[in-house]
A and B are shown apart, each in its own frame.
Chain A
């Protein structure tokens, strides 16, 4: 009996996780993108008007090379040990941020304000 209860709790947690994942995955991408390092906003970029470019974000002697191309943004290269941020690919189809944990770098969609420059620092 107790195993049914425990199993039920596990199933409920699993279902919540699946539902949450679906909600996050299906969230619509926005136009405005923020690049944060260590919690501070370094760049705010409007992908709708941004030109193709690459940015190098440095922090604590390490770097992430961020590429903007065809109105999409990704981490092209980094010198972190796991390169998870590179593997995450383009920030496009979901509202999941790109995160580089070792370098405390976050690339995320933010609310469109409409008056952001193409590239502001």
Chain B
């Protein structure tokens, strides 16, 4: 891996971690486990569209791992890891189908699947089918959160498109 590519990936990971830590300070109005804006995924969505699959996976993995180290919440690690896995499995092929002007659609699908992965992990870990009653709320919140993070990634892509041509 070239030093330039490595530093780009490191920069994105650092930005995602900063967003992740700041987001933790925001109190959530919806006290349901798993419902949060997930602003750090702006970086993930952006990376999906500009980097190769294994590079995106590296950014996400390091972010999740270090995020758990920073917060000390290792149970959350399992949920976010399984959510992100399902989310990336869908978003990486979807970028071929959906162009850069509709990133928010990819992001919404990714967010809903992220919450689906979390739900699946929670069901397996907790052995409590009643958790499924949260699922509708997770879908709705995933749609909003995904649309928001996707639009952010879309704007970043537009703003950075000139700059990316210069550095290439």
Query: Could you tell me which A residues sit within 8 Å of B by CB distance?
Result: 2-3, 6-7, 10, 13-14, 16-21, 23-24, 36, 38-39, 81-82, 84, 87-89, 95-97, 99, 101-102, 104, 106, 108
Partner of B136, one of A6, A24, A102, A106: A24
> A39–B137 contact, CB under 8 A?
no
Count B interface residues, CB 8 Å: 34
Partner of B131, one of A18, A89, A97, A102: A97
> A24–B32 contact, CB under 8 A?
no
> A96–B133 contact, CB under 8 A?
yes
CB-CB under 8 A from A14, the residues of chain B are 139-140, 143
> A104–B134 contact, CB under 8 A?
no
Q: Is B25 an interface residue (CB 8 A)?
A: no
Looking at the assembled complex, report how far the CB atom of B18 sits from the nearest CB atom of chain A, in whole angstroms: 20
Q: Is B152 an interface residue (CB 8 A)?
A: no
> B134–A96 contact, CB under 8 A?
yes
> B139–A99 contact, CB under 8 A?
no
Partner of A21, one of B73, B105, B128, B137: B137
Report the separation of the CA atoms of residues A42 and B140 in the bound assembly, to the nearest whole angstrom.
32
Number of interchain pairs (Cβ within 8 Å): 90
Nearest-neighbor residue (CB-CB) of B127 within chain A = A39
CB-CB under 8 A from A101, the residues of chain B are 33, 75, 79, 122, 126
Looking at the assembled complex, report how far the CB atom of B37 sits from the nearest CB atom of chain A, in whole angstroms: 15
Report the separation of the CA atoms of residues A19 and B109 in the bound assembly, to the nearest whole angstrom.
18
CB-CB under 8 A from B5, the residues of chain A are none
Q: Could you name 11 residue pairs across A and B whose Cβ atoms are closer than 8 Å?
A: A6-B98, A6-B102, A6-B105, A14-B140, A14-B143, A17-B137, A20-B135, A38-B126, A84-B31, A87-B28, A101-B122
Nearest-neighbor residue (CB-CB) of A22 within chain B = B136
Looking at the assembled complex, report how far the CB atom of A64 sits from the nearest CB atom of chain B, in whole angstroms: 14
Best-surrounded residue of B72, B98, B134 (most CB of chain A within 10 A): B134
> A81–B72 contact, CB under 8 A?
yes
> A84–B32 contact, CB under 8 A?
yes
CB-CB under 8 A from B133, the residues of chain A are 24, 95-97
